[in-house]
Chains A and B, each alone.
Chain A
Amino acid sequence: MTKQIELSLDGATATATLHEREAPKTAQRLWDALPVDAKFWHGRWSGSAGYALIPALQDPAAPLENRMSILAPGMVVVRSDHGEVMICYGPAQVRELAGNAWAAHVATLDGDASVFLAAVARVQHAGAKQLVVRRKGA
C-alpha cells in the first residue's frame, strides 16, 4: 500500500505520497524518521522553496535517488548530504553557494495543496515556523 505523509505548517495541512518506487531508500529513511517537528525556514539560494533540517536524514553516503534540480510546486525533496527536506511552492532550483545542486524527489503533495503552499511562501516574509511531518493516519 502506498505510504502517505501529513505535513502541517502555520495552521495549514497537506498530504503527500511517497515515491517508494523511484526513491525507495530515501522514502524509507524519511518514513522511519517520522514524526518530526522541526524549524522551517525559507531557502536563501533556491528560490521559491522552504526547508527544514532533520538530523535523521543526514547521510552523505546515501544514494541520490530520483534526482532533480529544477523543482515544481508541490515537490518534496531531500538533500541527504545536509539532512534537509525542501518543499517547493513556485519557481525553484536546488542551489547552493557553489552553484546548482541536486536533491532526491521523495514525495509530491496530493491534490489541491494551494493553502499549504501559501503557508510555505509566507515563511519568506513572516519568518521561520514549525513544520510537523507525520505518517498519515498515525
Chain B
Amino acid sequence: MARRVRVEVGGVRAVAELCEDLSPKTTEAFWQSLPIETTLAPAKWSGQACYFLPGAGPLKAVSENESPVCAIYPGYIVTRPGGSEALFAYGSSEYRWAVGTDYVTRVARLVEGRAAMLRTLAETHDSGDTTIRISREE
C-alpha cells in the first residue's frame, strides 16, 4: 500500500496517497521533505490550481520529471524538477507559465476528504493566499 500524507488547508483536512509507482524518486524526496508548512497561493497561468514552494530539501536533488504530464487532475499534487514549485489542482488545470505548457511530476492524489479540500482550494480564487501543511500519515 502506498504511503499516505495528511494535507491541511484553511482548517480542512484530507489524506493523499503518494504516486510511488509513477514517480518513485520524487515521492521519496517529497516524503523526506515532510513536514511542509508554507503559503499556498492561487496559480496565475495554470488554471484552477494553487501553488506552493516546497522548500530547499531533498526535492532539490530530483532534477528530472518522472512519468511527465501536462494536465493536472483535481486533487493531485505535482512538482517541477528540482522542487522549484508544487501545484495542487482543484479543477481544470494544465501546467503552464509565460512561454507555454510544460511538464510536471505527479506526487500525490487525494483519497480521503477530497470534496471539502477541493472546495477550500477553489476559495483561494476569492480569498487569496492561505497556508498548507503536509505531514506524514503514519
Contact = CB atoms under 8 A, between A and B. Distances in A.
A44 B47 contact: yes
Interface in B91-123: 92, 94, 96, 98
B44 A44 contact: yes
Contacts of B7: none
Contact of B44 (A47, A97, A128): A47
Contacts, number: 51
Nearest to A91: B98
B126 interface: yes
B129 A44 contact: no
Given A47-B98, A91-B98, A97-B94, A124 B127 contact: no
Contacts of B92: 97
Interface in A73-114: 91, 93, 95, 97
Given A91-B98, A124-B41, A124-B42, A41 B126 contact: yes
Contact of A128 (B47, B98, B126): B126
Contact of B127 (A93, A95, A97, A127): A127
Contacts of A91: 98
A126 B47 contact: no
Task: Say what secondary structure dominates the interface of chain B.
Answer: mixed
A44 B48 contact: yes
Interface string B38-53: 0001111111110000
B125 interface: yes
A42 interface: yes
Interface residues of B, number: 19
Nearest to B45: A47
B33 to A, nearest CB: 23
A43 B94 contact: no
A47 B46 CA distance: 9
A101 to B, nearest CB: 13
A126 B128 contact: yes
Contacts of B44: 42-44, 46-48, 124
A43 B43 CA distance: 9
B128 A124 contact: yes
Contacts of A128: 125-128
Contact of B128 (A43, A46, A127): A127
Given A42-B42, A47-B98, A91-B98, A127 B47 contact: no
A126 B128 CA distance: 5
A126 B39 CA distance: 12
Nearest to B123: A127
